[in-house]
Structure 1
Amino acid sequence: VGRRAGRGELGHAQIAYVASAAFSGVLTDVLTRCAAPGTELTVEVRELETPAQLEALASGDIDVGFLRWRPEYPPEVTATCLLTEQVVLALPAAAPLAAYEAVPAAKLCDECFVAPHFDEEYGCRDQILEVAEHGGFSPRCAPPVRDFIAALTLVGGGLAVALVPDSLRRVHIPGVAYRPLADVPLTTRLVGAYRRGETSPAVRGVIRRLREAAAATATA
């Protein structure tokens, strides 16, 4: 038992994730590796947005986070890129813009954008501003919502458009269509984050499997 624990094949870890880590299959891949024959790792998972995950990692409340890439992390936290995915436009299925195979940025000048707040401005708001700058207009934005599901619900109701990770296409909300942007190649990255110098063998075992998943994605 002691040797297995030392190899990271036994023990418990706390994992947090953003929704698109689940929808994209990234989280499932790592959990499947943790459940491979010969291992008895147990994990507790909960959904938590990126800013809260970074705080929880720094405080020790979680051990591994599946979150959105950031230009910088707390000094005690490091990250491994797991997935780079396209950002697409979610729009009302009945809207005239849904007739486009790919929507030019300039055509969004009269649209109202909605984005999750996530307790910070980095990310979603920056992408809206980039699209607006490319299209030559000042964006009109609805009040921020708490998550992508709430944003897509407003889109389905015909009240707004949203920029979302491509993996959210798997979320079926009536009245929502998805289209690529024709002239603004936006991407977003999912990373696995963890503390530097982690001492728990179980957590190191999860981190090792996370890195294996990242390497497999990079060579696919």
Structure 2
Amino acid sequence: MSGMTYTLEQLRGFVAVAEELHFGRAAARLRMTQPPLSRQIQKLEVAVGARLLDRDNRRVLLTPAGEVFLAEARRILALVESAPDLAQRVSSGSRGVVRLGFTAASTFGILGRLLDDLERRLPEVRVDLFEMVTREQLAALAAGDIDLGLARPPFDSELFASREVHREALLVAVPSGHRLTTLGRAATPADLGAEPLVLHSPQKARYFYDLVVSMVPLAHERVVHSVSQILTMLWLVAAGRGVAFVPESATLLGVPGVKFVPLSTPVARPVELHLLWPRESRNPALRRAVAVLRGDA
């Protein structure tokens, strides 16, 4: 195997000869004379360490090694020719990777819509998904491990730019046949006085915990379970363990044995979801993705 290298001019010369199977026509196509083209092919064969062409006075044929090398030569030339365009597209943000963190609850309808928007408007940007709670997203955004987050407030507005993408109501999830399903109106805190509660964990689901506590006076001795995932809450409700406060999008989960009752809250749709990104980022694809998702692009 030879340690010599070959040039792009030699590759282009070889491809022209291989396609024309005639040195004279290949030289004319390359706007050069035949002797320097012949020398290019000879140098290429020395560099490759194999005879690529069989030639005599009447004809030129590719050797088996030449057939294989032709495919590689075309691939290399295609890469070289596309490299400036690829670099420009990466620089402009129309191609690249955006790493998106999301909370499990944000997948109920919202995440799919955002991904559809990105795929339609930026088809060459790949979106990598990472499921994590808001606290984990904030740390990953600050460390540069993800580019975008779908998260709940609060967050540091000096570090992160944001846009509210969704607001929804807070409902009471109750077992089928529960007395609250016959109220005929929104439930109030007084209606829940004696109910056992399945509540969000104050450590792992801080946003929902704080939201519920701020809107509903709770007797903590009535809390029978504290969990972090909405799906888990609904299964516990279905099992008759208590009632739970969940976002309206939880109705999309279709857990059997659970009904949803409107809850009277000081704010009509208090559950917020925000798109979040670092104010300082060197990822051009992030700028394009944010513009699309904000409706600016």
TM range (shorter): 0.7 to 0.9
Q: How far is the alpha carbon of 1:22 from its aligned partner?
A: 1.5
Q: How far is the alpha carbon of 1:6 from its aligned partner?
A: 2.6
Please name the residue that 2:31 is paired with: none
Identical pairs, percent: 27
Please name the residue that 2:181 is paired with: 98
CA contact (8 A) 2:198 2:226 kept: yes
May I ask how many residue pairs the two structures share in their alignment? Answer: 208
Q: How far is the alpha carbon of 1:54 from its aligned partner?
A: 0.9
Please name the residue that 1:15 is paired with: 100
Which structure 2 segments of 5+ residues have no match? Answer: 1-85
Determine the C-alpha separation between the residues in 2 that align with 1:75 and 1:37: 29
Give the 3-state SS of the residue equivalent to 2:93 in structure 1: coil
Please name the residue that 1:161 is paired with: 243
Determine the C-alpha separation between the residues in 2 that align with 1:201 and 1:4: 9
Please name the residue that 1:40 is paired with: 124
Determine the C-alpha separation between the residues in 2 that align with 1:8 and 1:103: 49
Q: How far is the alpha carbon of 1:169 from its aligned partner?
A: 0.7
Give the 3-state SS of the residue equivalent to 1:173 in structure 2: coil
CA contact (8 A) 2:200 2:206 kept: no
Please name the residue that 1:138 is paired with: 219
Q: TM-score, normalised by structure 1?
A: 0.85
Determine the C-alpha separation between the residues in 1 that align with 2:93 and 2:224: 47
Please name the residue that 1:88 is paired with: 171
Please name the residue that 1:194 is paired with: 277
Determine the C-alpha separation between the residues in 2 that align with 1:59 and 1:200: 14
Letter aligned with residue 199 of structure 1: R
Answer 1 or 2: higher relative contact order, Cα 8 Å, separation at least 6: 1
Letter aligned with residue 144 of structure 1: S
Q: Is the aligned partner of 1:125 residue 2:209?
A: yes
Going from structure 1 to structure 2, the CA distance change for 1:119 and 1:62 (only over 3 Å counts) comes to farther
Going from structure 1 to structure 2, the CA distance change for 1:38 and 1:113 (only over 3 Å counts) comes to closer
Determine the C-alpha separation between the residues in 2 that align with 1:210 and 1:7: 17
Determine the C-alpha separation between the residues in 2 that align with 1:204 and 1:37: 13
Divergent runs of 4+, >6 A: none
Give the 3-state SS of the residue equivalent to 1:65 in structure 2: strand
Q: Which has the larger radius of gyration?
A: 2
Q: TM-score, normalised by structure 2?
A: 0.64
Please name the residue that 1:150 is paired with: 232
Q: How far is the alpha carbon of 1:112 from its aligned partner?
A: 1.9
Q: Deviations over 1:44-68 (max 9, x none)?
A: 1122111111111111121111111
Determine the C-alpha separation between the residues in 2 that align with 1:47 and 1:64: 12
CA contact (8 A) 1:17 1:65 kept: yes
Q: How far is the alpha carbon of 1:92 from its aligned partner?
A: 1.0
